[in-house]
A and B are shown apart, each in its own frame.
Chain A
């Protein structure tokens, strides 16, 4: 591990070193392409990753995260900790100091008032702020003096690095957005498309869902950066086309989100013009087991609710058998290539937070069959499908329309059929599946199926919020209009209790231990969630673009100021 870290460090140093000698704006234009075009440059009004990444070249938070998930300063002079007095002893407040002489790209000074305004902007009840969770638990943000920001929480907050940390909660310029607060937020088209920021670039042109053109920010705090005089983000098309424009034709320098099949990855790499880079965050493709009965025979309003336990999947032996029958390495090989790894965890990284649970990696078909026999599911009528008390072992397995997911469905169906399980497949339009429309029977929350597959992740290396999803109270039901993230309807008082303990614990090592325990409770201990693949985000960059360090904890453009042209 330390050897690997040392090598990585050496590579990073080599990569960054030439940039240190570069001068601002000497390397011409850097061209990026996103398969999904940028809709808006204000991350507070968009949850879309494309918009957040694009805006992160212009707007900056007080602190960000590096590729290892460590905090780094952006506008802040240093990271507040308990040791340096930045975090109060009772954990109820955090005090940030701005770097001296910070300027917006229009030349006006950055002050603590801008941060206070940003908090007011995002927490206004009529604003519809997409990043409201970043300011959850914040009682007050105040400007102690023009360069000091004090964030006070309504209670002790063991992880206070939420507000103003990361590309999801950058600081907006008060002068520009003052009239855009509340209900007026969506109507401020010019402000939302061309925000004034502190980042290495400033927006010079914006066409919706098409192109963002940017020029270097003359007022950027590091006088030697950025090396590029201008930048352009062209959107649209598909992952294949974006990857091709970097890897084969060389028209672009960087392509974000080039998730393409492994054989295409290899073919494009062979062209020799660029390379794929992959960052592993916490994104896990998983099978979710429905612990409640989705049967259509039940009255509407009782289907898939805690009232009726699942007739088949309530038995942990069946869930375990279904997991054992899967060969995750083949799934990775078929679907993701270098962009994926087999996993048994819902929290697969960072290493310090990930459980060492790897028992599911090896396929064990015989073991799975034995478990089903043990559970009483045997093929008594010889039709190849197991049954018990006259009921067939039959499963409806749903996911979204997506070529890789359909491949996965076919493979897993084969394995389960071998096991003696009858599998019916269903693929739903992603807009409907993730749409959350309470009137639709096909949302992932309603879960009118036995097993469903999708990917989810934690947007913070600290998984407290993410793990909170599996509390009893978060189960979607008619009472809460089918909203909630605990889609398995998993309910274990011990889990809730342990999660409550996590929210109170401040010691990092102890937090990590609890997180691992919680991870194990929903995975190997109860087989509620069957993780399949730890998915990375795959991007491509040209061999002539230097300084790229892909990051899964923050925006991939986190260090765009350090990018340079390899000559």
Chain B
């Protein structure tokens, strides 16, 4: 297991390097200019000066190697400095966003908390809703509950978040006035009142995303349960006189969870990636909103860094899913 893990980790290094180069070239070759958001009243020569000041006129490989150096040396050194008070990164240029001239990692640091809280909660809520629905739907296949569950899943799958989100805003914020529509990122939870405030402002985005997440996972859970329900060991368990409860929740559920856990683990990087549409709609301003904003503004350092971090997370969680698989199912070992 350890050699397997090490081998996979070592293999990840060239993979990620190739990914980083591909992302860089893709982003660089995409049409658009960091000056496209500047009003037309700014004349061309001033634009040219601004591009030069950003270093955006350098050849692509110069910028790529500079970015590699900044990402793998300057930024870690900078983090090390701020933890231990050393001066490794003194005088080194950090990765700066072209749009805001702020260090990219500072922006990510500001945005990660709300993304993790809101998107993470939505994911958790989605799982908590999905598992019982999936289990019971499979146990009572074609029952009224199952049909209802299927309908719920279909709605969650097929209604895009920009529609369901807007619908929730109109119902719960405009008509009923229960929840705010704009997420206040500056809110600090210090007492019960602010905690309640935080819950209220999370309600709409979590509802919107939770619906979509629950739909997908409940389908996986259901089909995995159905596969196992007809297995021989289930008949054996019943024949031994075990209660239905033990059969379903102990025997069938445990075995059915294996593929579902993989699906859940593989979905975790998307929490870090944020939810572009939902974040924008509710003003959560997390990583997803940062990414789309940077893409619109052709903010290459920001897009490149974010896309690469997502790549790292995806490679990492694929590995974690594989390891979890081995842990959950003793029949599967990689050595």
A positions within 8 Å CB-CB of B: 33, 37, 39-40, 45-49, 125-130, 132-133, 183, 185-187, 189, 192-193, 205, 207-211, 213, 232, 234-238, 241, 244-245, 248-249, 251-252, 271, 429-437, 440, 442, 456-459, 466, 480, 483-485
Contacts and interface: CB of A to CB of B under 8 A. Distances in A.
A241 B46 contact: no
27 contacts: A40-B102, A47-B38, A47-B41, A47-B42, A48-B38, A126-B52, A128-B54, A130-B50, A133-B41, A183-B53, A186-B101, A187-B96, A189-B106, A207-B110, A211-B185, A235-B285, A237-B182, A249-B173, A429-B32, A431-B31, A431-B32, A431-B33, A431-B36, A432-B36, A434-B36, A435-B35, A466-B41
B241 interface: no
A447 to B, nearest CB: 14
Contacts of B54: 128, 186
Contact of B40 (A431, A456, A480): A456
Nearest to A476: B44
B119 to A, nearest CB: 15
A430 B32 CA distance: 8
Contacts of A480: 44
A45 B280 CA distance: 25
Interface of A is mostly: loop
Q: Interface residues of B toward A: which range?
A: 35 or more
Contact of A245 (B32, B99, B181): B181
B283 A437 contact: no
B159 interface: no
A475 to B, nearest CB: 12
Interface in B113-166: none
A208 B293 CA distance: 11
Interface in B175-203: 177, 180-182, 184-186
Contacts of A437: 31-33
A241 B281 contact: yes
> Lowest 8 CB-CB distances: which A-B pairs, in order?
A128-B53, A435-B33, A483-B44, A47-B38, A431-B32, A39-B100, A435-B36, A210-B285
B42 A236 contact: no
B53 A210 contact: no
B283 A234 contact: yes
Nearest to B37: A48
Nearest to A439: B31
Contact of B280 (A205, A236, A248): A236
Given A192-B101, A211-B185, A133 B36 contact: no
Nearest to B49: A128
A215 to B, nearest CB: 13
Given A245-B181, A435-B36, A237 B280 contact: yes
A187 B283 contact: no
A290 to B, nearest CB: 17
B229 to A, nearest CB: 46
A185 B99 CA distance: 14
Contacts of A236: 279-280, 283, 285, 289
A484 B35 contact: no
B182 A33 contact: yes
Contacts of A205: 186
A99 B79 CA distance: 46
